[in-house]
Amino acid sequence: MQTRLTLVVAPLNGGKTTYLVRLIETLKQDGLAVGGVLALANPEKTWYRLKDLSSTESRLVLCETQSLGMQRIGRFSIDAEGFAWANALIEKSLGKSDVVVFDEIGRLELNDGGLAPSFRKALARKQVSILAAVRDVHVEEVVRHFGLEASELNLVQVNKDDIENE
């Protein structure tokens, strides 16, 4: 049986999103429908936007320099409406995508926030393959928290130097 859940693993700023962007291009060239979201940051990494892969629309969801809402994670304020938008888009794409991308599953999702609702729905849907970026320090906790089976899981360790030299 083909592995349907792939975790793209690297440390903070380790090239997970860059790897996903290249993989998504390949998947689309192969004729697969790809849904989900990519997390895009400014060069200083003081804000993050989630970009919908089906429409290219994006929303600011984390920001260090302005208040987006009452919730905070680390140095960032969180826009709950932005995450609700992303979860709704992902859930809608589950019926029409071959592959769904989650960039990324981390501390917010481990507290059942962020993209956790749509990630759980994707996990329950056997017909879709899942690509999820996860920081190396969170892999074990993500596996445990979401009840992932090691036999159904493919881990891809990303090396930023290898990506930049391609």
Query: How high does pLDDT run on average in the chain?
Result: 91
Please give the average per-residue pLDDT across 22-45, as a whole number: 95
Burial 56-90 (b: 16+ CB within 10 A, else e): eebbebbbeeeebeeeeeeebbbbeebbebbbebb
- The label of the residue with tokens 């979860």 reads 87
pLDDT of residue 163: 62
- CATH code for the domain of 111: 3.40.50.300
Please give the average per-residue pLDDT across 7-35, as a whole number: 95
- The label of the residue with tokens 């826009």 reads 79
Residues 6+ apart with CB under 8 A from 145: 110
pLDDT of residue 21: 95
Structural domain span for residue 61:
5-164
Please give the average per-residue pLDDT across 106-132, as a whole number: 95
Tell me how far apart the alpha carbons of residues 162 and 14 are, in angstroms, rounded to a whole number: 11
Please give the average per-residue pLDDT across 76-98, as a whole number: 94
What percent of the chain is modeled with pLDDT above 90? Answer: 79
Q: How many structural domains are present in the chain?
A: 1
Cβ atoms of residues 146 and 162 within 8 Å: no
Tell me how far apart the alpha carbons of residues 62 and 112 are, in angstroms, rounded to a whole number: 16
Q: What is the CA radius of gyration of the chain?
A: 15
pLDDT at 66 over 50: yes
pLDDT at 1 over 50: no
Cβ atoms of residues 104 and 135 within 8 Å: yes
Q: How confident is the model at residue 165 (pLDDT cuts 50, 70, 90)?
A: low
Please give the average per-residue pLDDT across 18-46, as a whole number: 95
